[in-house]
Structures are given as C-alpha cells and as structure tokens.
Amino acid sequence: LAKTTQPISMDSYEGQEVNITCSHNNIATNDYITWYQQFPSQGPRFIIQGYKTKVTNEVASLFIPADRKSSTLSLPRVSLSDTAVYYCLVALYSSASKIIFGSGTRLSIRP
Amino acid sequence: SAVISQKPSRDICQRGTSLTIQCQVDSQVTMMFWYRQQPGQSLTLIATANQGSEATYESGFVIDKFPISRPNLTFSTLTVSNMSPEDSSIYLCSVELQGNGEQYFGPGTRLTVT
C-alpha cells in the first residue's frame, strides 16, 4: 500500500477556498485516491475519490495530475463546520480492499 | 450507504478484564473492519473480518488479544482481552459496500482502562 504524506495542520477563514495537497509517490497503477473527513467523536466520512484528472461532487473537488504522485483536495468557500481532520488514502480498487490511514491534516477554520 | 451502530458507546474497565464491542450494520456486507484510534491520533487497522472465515490481523495485533467474531453478514464483535491502560482508545468498525474503497464507519466505542 502506498504511503501518503500531507500537512499536519492548516488554518483558514470562513468563505475561503482551502486546498490540501497529499503526496503519494509510490502509488500503484490500480490504486485510487480517496479522501475522508473526521469530526471529533465521530467515525471518518468518505468525501471523494478519484483516479486521474479532476473529480467534483457536492462537497469538494479532487485534482490529480497526470503522474498521479500527488493529489489536491479543494474545499470551496469553507465554513466553521468544515473544521475537521482530513485523511488522504490510496487503495486498490477491488472488492474488500483494506485501507490504511495516514496521519491526516487538521484543518481549522476561523470566523 | 450503510448505517452502523456500536455498543457500548463508551466504557470504563479495570485492567485485567475483557470487553466485547458489538458492531451492527443495517445491510448485509461481506467485509467488516476494526480500527483503533488513540486520542489525537490517526486510525490503525486492527483486523479485517470476513463472514465465514477467520479474521485477518494486521502486524502488531494478535487473535489472543483481540478475538473477533463474525457470525453473520450484519454483525461482528471485537473483544479486547486482559486489558491494560495502553488499550484505552476509541475502537471503530467499518464496512465497505461496493468494493471501491469507500467505507462507512460506526460512531466508535470509547474505552478507558484504569
């Protein structure tokens, strides 16, 4: 399983766009990139997943360059409720694939 | 999606005792996963539980310490045996529905060992 590296913490303000970059130099051909969000006292929640280029859903966008050695989670117009820990993972796209969590990025949003 | 419940939500136990944590899913799933998360830390995978077979444990975790049962496709238990204060942690179960790396997590069980 590819190891991921992401900033330990980030700060931003309400209404700003936040970009969290994750490095995964050893990503394998069949690996997908997945991001989870975790609030205090809750289990992680799936945010978005992608393989290459750009993926967008109602919550976030995920940008993946051609070499796939990194990815960027983009949160548009953050609010205080986006304060959480964000985990970047790479995992094989197959049935019952286990996922390994990295250290995560602790995002703090200020008024 | 899947709705996952865990019991108990929290417990305070004495060292040397054992605690069994239950995980219930509202749909049938093949694989369930058990994680441990110490305060302020990331999640560590303990084991993968496949219905009908023995659980597969990650490095550093053994069956004698963390026995797992998986009697059917909607239920699993994790037992923390012969507890010590180092076992104080949050224990979470999760499931994967579609084989695409998207897992759904339970709310966790906060265990404190005194």
pLDDT digits (tens, 9 = 90+) for B56-113: 999 899 999 999 999 999 999 999 999 999 999 999 999 987 766 788 999 999 999 9
Contact A97 B101 (CB under 8 A): yes
The minimum CA-CA distance between A6 and chain B, rounded to whole Å, is 13
Q: Would you state the structure tokens that stand for residue A90, as one six-digit string?
A: 């790479």
> For residue A96, how many other CB atoms are within 10 A of its CB?
14
B70 vs B78: CA distance, rounded Å: 9
Residue A92 binned pLDDT confidence (cut-offs 50, 70, 90): low
Note the Cα A37 to chain centre separation in Å. Answer: 8
B51 touches chain A (CB under 8 A): no
pLDDT digits (tens, 9 = 90+) for B8-66: 999 999 999 999 999 999 999 988 999 999 988 999 999 999 888 889 999 899 999 99
B87 vs A106: CA distance, rounded Å: 24
User: Residues of A at the B interface (Cβ-Cβ below 8 Å)?
Assistant: 32, 34, 41-46, 49, 87, 89, 91-104
Based on the number of CB atoms within 10 Å of its own CB, is B59 exposed (0-12), middle (13-18) or buried (19 or more)?
Answer: exposed
B79 vs B30: CA distance, rounded Å: 20
pLDDT for A98 equals: 66
Which of A5, A47, A101, A103 is the best mutation test for B, with the most CBs of B within 10 A? A101
Which of B30, B45, B105 is the closest to A98 by Cβ? B45
Contact A97 B106 (CB under 8 A): no
Sheet of A18-23: strands edge to edge? A18-23, A70-75, A61-64, A53-56
Exposure string of B74-109, with b = 16+ CB inside 10 Å and e = fewer, is bebbbebbebeeebbbbbbbbbbbeebbbbbbbebb
